[in-house]
Amino acid sequence: MQIKRTKFLMLALLLIAFMFFTSDLVLIDVEKTSIITAVAIDMEDEEYIVTAQIAVPEATDTNTENQKAQISGKGSTVGAALKDLGDTSGWFPKLSFCNLILIGENLAKTNVMNALDYFAKTLRVQDSALVVMCEKSAKEILALATPLDNISSFAIQKILLKTIGFNRDIATTDIKTFCSGHYSDSASAYMPVIKCIKADEPNSEGGESISASGSDKGSQSSSNSESEKKENSDNLFDATTTALFKNGYKVGELDENLSLVFNAFGGSFNGTTIPIDGVPFGGKTVNYLLTVINKISSVKLSATENDLTLKLNLTLYCKIADVNTDYSDDSLSNNAPLPEPLIEKAENFFTEYVNELVETSVQTECDIFKIKEKLYRHNYKQYSRYKDNYFSALKTDINVNVYGQSQ
């Protein structure tokens, strides 16, 4: 019996060895595998131009910066363009590490789902990869040199994926979230718009210098760029604008403030700073910077036979992060209660932009608050009544409260 068992084991080992040495398990030579870190998709003459940014690992015993290569392929579908990219380069395009997909301006004029659906369907790419739109050609954005990182896609990801404590002012989305929004009853989705800005230019919307370290405008900078890389220090990225999509087509945009308020109804908002300027104080006007220390928000829909009401509640617990008074006070160190004029101004700021956000949603018919989904899930009895006219029948009930430390 023991001899038979040994014979069987030998045969099994031989079988495995045969399979291994005859097909080398169809492994692909690592030298011919490209590790794609980001993909830019543009559209020219009804053809997709896919540009892949490829990280090139180099064996070295010294600390060097990340090396990259950038190559393009074209085809009638995104899959075909990726195939073309592989054929022309000789590299097998490995998308497992692709964490960023950029959509070019021209492509955004068409139905973006025709391109993005490939990434949702294929198992070759993680559908947790971030999706952004570019204000110009995606290929150009990807090719830009930036002082933040040798690989521009890494720099963009730093802006998009901020850790807790940073500003939550960017409406970050990934393939899965975008697709589930698109394929939901609402057929609505959103993604941030990447804009290229110069480091020494003030931010057009915020009016502040982006080159200031620790800027709160969704951009980053480096103050120690080397002189020989002077040209690299020019390009920084801003992603505080949000593009809205309905049925795959871009239908509108949220500006910096609207994006900020939209994020207040999303996940974590703690650590976000809000500049409140022109607050009357002792006969003068004072500028404040508030930091959100806690947030409670809810978006609820109430549907009856007579009306459909969207109830938006936002409660922010803030502390003063900075104030430009002429004298020193203890409001920063003591986490003191917020002055009444400041609370009023902050509440007005949020109420105004929440109103504008709802108006934008109604005008563009982009259901960013998932009203139809809420109607189906929580008010199913009224679903058939409002499913086709919920935007026209919608009333809003907005309730914003800003609190500081209690007395």
Measured from the CB of residue 179, what is the shortest distance to other proteins in angstroms?
A: 5
Nearer to other proteins, 7 or 395 (CB): 7
Name residues whose C-beta falls within 8 Å of residue 403's C-beta, 6 or more positions apart in sequence. 315, 316, 317, 318, 338, 343
Site for other proteins (CB under 8 A): which residue of 185, 208, 347, 356? 185
The residues in 270-289 that bind other proteins, with binding defined as CB under 8 A, are: none
The residues in 89-118 that bind other proteins, with binding defined as CB under 8 A, are: 92, 94, 96
Binding mask 30-69 for other proteins (x = CB under 8 A): ---x------------------------------------
Measured from the CB of residue 92, what is the shortest distance to other proteins in angstroms?
A: 7
- The count of residues interacting with other proteins (CB under 8 A) is 31
Per-residue 3-state assignment (H helix, E strand, C coil) for the chain: CHHHHHHHHHHHHHHHHHHHHHHHHHCCCHHHEEEEEEEEEEEECCEEEEEEEEECCCCCCCCCCCCEEEEEEEECCHHHHHHHHHHHHCCEEECCCCCEEEECHHHHCCCCHHHHHHHHHCCCCCCCCEEEEECCCHHHHHHCCECCECCHHHHHHHHHCCCECECCCCCCCEHHHHHHHHCCCCCEEEEEEEEEEECCCECCCCCCECCCCCCCCCCCCCCCCCHHHHHHHHEEEEEEEEEEEECCEEEEEECHHHHHHHHHCCCCCCCCEEEEEEEEECCEEEEEEEEEEEEEEEEEEEECCCCEEEEEEEEEEEEEEEECCCCCCCCCCCCCCCCHHHHHHHHHHHHHHHHHHHHHHHHHCCCCCCHHHHHHHHCHHHHHHHCCCHHHHEEEEEEEEEECCCC
**3 forms part of the interface with other proteins (CB under 8 A):** no
Structure tokens at 123: 């198992």
Measured from the CB of residue 21, what is the shortest distance to other proteins in angstroms?
A: 12
Nearer to other proteins, 3 or 27 (CB): 27
**380 forms part of the interface with other proteins (CB under 8 A):** yes
**378 forms part of the interface with other proteins (CB under 8 A):** yes
**76 forms part of the interface with other proteins (CB under 8 A):** no
Measured from the CB of residue 28, what is the shortest distance to other proteins in angstroms?
A: 5
Measured from the CB of residue 125, what is the shortest distance to other proteins in angstroms?
A: 10
**294 forms part of the interface with other proteins (CB under 8 A):** no
* Of 50-58, 75-83, 194-202, 373-381: span binding other proteins (CB under 8 A): 373-381
**296 forms part of the interface with other proteins (CB under 8 A):** no
Nearer to other proteins, 33 or 270 (CB): 33
Measured from the CB of residue 361, what is the shortest distance to other proteins in angstroms?
A: 19
**128 forms part of the interface with other proteins (CB under 8 A):** yes
Binding mask 332-371 for other proteins (x = CB under 8 A): ----------------------------------------
* Residues forming the site for other proteins (CB under 8 A): 12, 15-16, 19, 23, 25-28, 33, 92, 94, 96, 120-121, 123-124, 126, 128, 161, 174, 176, 179-180, 183-185, 376-378, 380
